[in-house]
Amino acid sequence: MVAIVDYGVGNLASIQNMFKKAGVRSEISGDAAVLESSCKILLPGMGHFDNCMIRLRMSGLLQTIERKVFKENTPLLGICVGLQMFMESSEEGTEKGLGWIDGKTVRFQPEQMDNGQKIPNMGWLDVDCQKNTPFWHGLENSRFYFAHSYHVAPTQVSDVLLTAQYGYQFCVGVQRNNIWGVQFHPEKSHRFGMQLLKNFAEL
């Protein structure tokens, strides 16, 4: 069972619906006991970085999540700001990030935009995978839906899993051990998003 963390942020029902379409059992919960019993964890995120960090810390769930991830090696997937929170900090706010991935979340650079590209980036982009991984099974030549003004900038190249092009090439997905994260919205990405969530559930 995949536990979708409910800390008051994110498109939870849409994520669960996409899991259902993929044939994967999931549960939306803010109960630590449910997270404890899960075999996978999905950390959503939407809106302002500081708000997400404050709400997650106030939820009382972070200790359980970190124990599952770092002590029990439970696979975790962060989506959108859920990914951005993995970093040490964000240019969007002043709160400290989780620090699970070395680096920070940065704003798109307007001077590097061309062809009328605007910030925020809203729409579909082709995504390329930089590693050979079952997480990307069946997703060659895939496109995903984005809605963001900030993106992660990992310090270590080895943490970069996925990249896309918007003015310049940037990181749209990370992976370190059992920690996975994507900037785009799988729940809004039709068959590509459904395949990705299915792959995550089967890791």
Q: Give 2-201's CATH code, choosing from 3.40.50.2300, 3.40.50.2000, 3.40.50.620, 3.40.50.880.
A: 3.40.50.880
pLDDT of residue 74: 98
Q: Is 185 a catalytic residue?
A: yes
Lowest mean pLDDT segment, chosen from 44-48, 75-79, 111-115:
111-115
Q: How far apart are alpha carbons 110 and 157 in whole angstroms? A: 24
pLDDT of residue 110: 83
Choosing from 39, 91, 185, 202, the catalytic residue is 185
Looking at residue 183, its amino acid is Q
pLDDT of residue 14: 97
Given a cut of 80, is residue 50 above it in pLDDT?
A: yes
pLDDT of residue 171: 98
| Angle made by CA atoms 151, 155, 161, in degrees to the nearest 5 | 65
- C-alpha torsion 55→60→64→67, nearest 10: 80
Q: Do the Cβ atoms of 125 and 164 come closer than 8 Å?
A: yes
**Which of 5, 33, 4 is CA-nearest to residue 20?**
4
pLDDT of residue 23: 97
Question: Tens digit of pLDDT for each residue in 91-145?
Answer: 999 999 999 999 999 999 888 877 778 899 999 999 999 999 999 999 999 999 9
Q: Is 187 a catalytic residue?
A: yes
Looking at residue 163, its amino acid is T
Distances (CA, A) of 114 to 68, 109, 121, 144, 167: 43, 11, 12, 21, 6
Choosing from 129, 151, 187, 202, the catalytic residue is 187
Give CA 24 to chain center in angstroms: 18
Domain ranges of the chain: 2-201
Question: Tens digit of pLDDT for each residue in 145-196?
Answer: 999 999 999 999 999 999 999 999 999 999 999 999 999 999 999 999 999 9
Choosing from 39, 66, 80, 92, the catalytic residue is 80
Using CA of residue 150, residue 156, residue 157, residue 161, what is the dihedral sign? negative
The pTM of this model reads 0.97
